[in-house]
Amino acid sequence: MEAFEVKKVLNNNVLIASHPEYEEMVLIGKGIGFNRKRGDAITRESAEKMFVMKSEKEQEQYKKLLPTIENDMLEIIISSIELIRKRSSSILNEHIHVALTDHLLFAINRTIAGMAIKNPFISETKILYPREYEIAREVIEFINEAANIDLPEGEIGFIALHIHSAITNKQLSDLNQHSQLIAKLIETVEGQFNIQLNRDHINYMRLVRHLRYTIDRVLNGDKVEEPEKIALFLKTEYPLCYNLAWKLIKIMQQTLKKPVYDAEVVYLTMHLQRIQHKIK
């Protein structure tokens, strides 16, 4: 029978244990931590759920969260993260156990209190991370049924960002900043054209994706070739779109604090011209 060694008891139902093959694991089960001490042997069968958490810092943060969570809710949240792991077929960054647990507790408490938070970036998130968005939708459905609650649709977008962060090891703060930047750029386009873009239209989706890839290229320092003849043509033929493209580039530079290559203006102008052509 497979055995673990107790390293740290977090509470009566959660403990950290080590195993030669798995390294440090969080084991969860009713009463699993009761009267246990460091060095005790514990069988795998004693745990109802388990996951890896190597980082001492993450363990400490998780420990602080635990007293605020009822056992039933902890069970639901851990099952949600397990669902994400299965659906994404990925090794998740262990920070998701702290970050998503904290977020879901906050979201659930706000919903119960009738103070759900609106998500202003939901349409952009849906376009940028469609796979993560669908997994997040499944997670919300699972939580709503298991906890008999009605989390708002905006939560799908927030959870999708957590999933993307855990799969790609990107900082959630960076992802949030990029979502806000894209929303600001879209707002600038709508203000310039004096229209409300249809969030379900293919041209809107293409523009959002293009802005995201531009941000990625800027952050990675990737250079795209500049077709000079096309640049001159676009500047002459579509001055409004060309100038707007420059305006968007300047917003990107200020936010990301990195230079943006001139060639990006050409490709952005083409996208803007396509949108302008449709609204004429």
Q: Is the pTM for the entire model greater than 0.85?
A: no
From the CB of residue 270, how many other CB atoms can be counted at a distance below 10 Å? 15
134, pLDDT greater than 70: yes
Beta carbons within 8 Å of 237's beta carbon, 6+ residues apart: none
Higher-pLDDT residue of 131, 11:
131
Tokens 């605020």 sit on residue = 68
Q: Is 69 exposed, middle or buried (0-12, 13-18, 19+ CB in 10 A)?
A: buried
Sign, CA torsion 228/232/233/235: positive
Given this structure, which CATH class describes domain 173-279?
A: mainly alpha
pLDDT in tens, 30-70: 889 889 999 899 888 888 888 888 888 888 888 888 888 88
pLDDT in tens, 193-246: 999 998 888 889 999 999 999 999 999 888 877 667 788 888 899 999 999 999
As a whole-number percent, the residues of the chain with pLDDT over 70 amount to 98
Cα dihedral 22→24→25→30 (10° resolution): 130
Query: Quick check: 144 and 150 in contact, CB under 8 A?
Result: yes
Number of H helices, E strands in the chain: 11, 5
* Same fold for the pair 69-170 and 173-279: yes
Higher-pLDDT residue of 18, 146:
146
pLDDT in tens, 161-178: 999 999 999 999 899 999
Q: How confident is the model at residue 3 (pLDDT cuts 50, 70, 90)?
A: confident
DSSP 57-94: HHHHHHHHHGGGS-HHHHHHHHHHHHHHHHHHTSPPPT
Which pLDDT score, from 0 to 100, does residue 268 have?
Answer: 93
Which pLDDT score, from 0 to 100, does residue 1 have?
Answer: 55
- In the chain, where the domains are located: 1-55, 69-170, 173-279
| 1-55 topology per CATH | Transcription Regulation, Sacy; Chain A (2.30.24)
Query: Quick check: 107 and 151 in contact, CB under 8 A?
Result: yes
As a whole-number percent, the residues of the chain with pLDDT over 90 amount to 50
Domain 69-170, classified CATH 1.10.1790.10, yes or no: yes
Which pLDDT score, from 0 to 100, does residue 10 have?
Answer: 86
272, pLDDT greater than 90: yes
Q: Classify residue 51 by its DSSP letter.
A: E
- Averaged confidence pLDDT in the chain: 90
Structure tokens at 267: 């490709």
154, pLDDT greater than 90: yes
Q: How confident is the model at residue 280 (pLDDT cuts 50, 70, 90)?
A: low
99, pLDDT greater than 90: yes
From the CB of residue 24, how many other CB atoms can be counted at a distance below 10 Å? 18
pLDDT in tens, 100-109: 999 999 999 8
